[in-house]
Amino acid sequence: MAATYLTGLLSLCVCLLLTPAFAEADKLLVVPMDGSHWFTMRAVVEKLIHRGHELVIVVPEVSWHLEKSLNFTVKTYSTSYTLEDLNREFMVFANYCWKTQDLGILSLARSPASAVFEYFFSRCRSLFDDTKLVKYIKESSFDAVFTDPFDLCGLIIAKYFSLPSVVFTRGPFCHYLEEGTQCPSPNSYVPRAFSVLSDTMTFRERVRNQILHLEERLFCHYLFKSGLEIASEILQMPVTAYDLYSHTSIWLLRTDFVFDYPKPVMPNMVFIGGINCIQGKPLPEVSYFFFSSLRTPGFGFKKNDSLLHRNLPFVCHIRNFFLVE
């Protein structure tokens, strides 16, 4: 009898979760990241508004591109720095990235360029210092937090208010994606970020990949040190990066599995490749004589070779895929 009751209860829960009214969040709190990160998130935000969802975005008063003119509610909070301060530190970071030959976790954590992260992380302390905004979030009964996990603040808000979180990212720094989702990532054939390795590695390259993985484990927390300290202050308990990233409900990854290396994935990792691209336009008509001029010995084409004709649609499709705004 008890087993029958539990089976019926489980079936009821599954039906409720699959019902659109329960499966779709109606009211979202959006915590974006400034800069180029916002360009891609904005497209998703506009689509959510078009589908009838209610969105509220929280943004700092000092920002580069976070518009306040879109058709949804915007809540602002003051910051402890000016736009000139942010521009100055970001130029230090950008110049370092352009000039250095070793853009690894260890070199970035030890460089003065990492100071720009202090500004990004300090926004969350400023947000929680605004008691009216915190009260508004608490009383608004949001269904979920939609955020970019780069500056941690959206993850902190989700954990503080016990809300589900949906993150929108190309992939976070270091090993936090695999750690947060408990996803296996064998170093023998899954190359680490910034390694410039392929998924087919020699023994020496696998050793190097393992060393890079150990570097991440040892030094990544230095990049997020101030952010985790702020999180510990807000949540009033010791907080690790795992505590924040493992709280994520859904990972929306701005890439496509076919363009990435073969690797294990988890059910809450959703690939949304193409989100970085502008809408493709119809291919123009191409003259046959243009390709006839290319069929010369210098180009390696035989007179009757039709390889270029066969692959033209695919080449143009790839070209359109990588055209970004």
Alpha carbons 257 and 237: distance in angstroms, whole number:
37
Residue 109 pLDDT = 67
Residue 316 pLDDT = 36
Given a contact cutoff of 8 angstroms between Cβ atoms, the answer to whether 316 and 283 are in contact is yes
- DSSP E strands: which ranges in the chain? 27-31, 54-60, 73-77, 144-147, 165-169, 250-253, 269-271
* Residues comprising the chain, all counted: 325
Which CATH topology does 24-271 take?
A: Rossmann fold (3.40.50)
Q: Buried b vs exposed e over 38-67: b needs ≥16 C-beta within 10 Å?
A: bebbbebbeebeeeebebbbbbbebbeebe
* Tens place of pLDDT per residue across the chain (325 aa): 444 433 443 343 333 333 444 445 478 999 988 877 887 888 888 888 888 888 999 988 888 877 665 677 888 888 888 888 888 888 888 787 777 766 666 667 667 767 778 888 889 999 999 999 999 999 998 999 999 888 899 999 999 999 999 999 887 778 888 888 888 888 888 888 777 888 888 999 999 989 888 888 888 888 888 899 999 999 999 999 999 999 999 999 888 777 777 888 899 998 887 666 666 677 776 655 544 554 444 434 344 444 333 333 333 333 333 333 3
Residue 297 pLDDT = 44
Residue extents of the structural domains in the chain: 24-271, 288-321
Dihedrals phi, psi of 112, to nearest 5 degrees: -65, -20
Residue 106 pLDDT = 66
String of DSSP letters for 102-149: ---HHHHHHSGGGGHHHHHHHHHHHHHH-HHHHHHHHHT--SEEEE-G
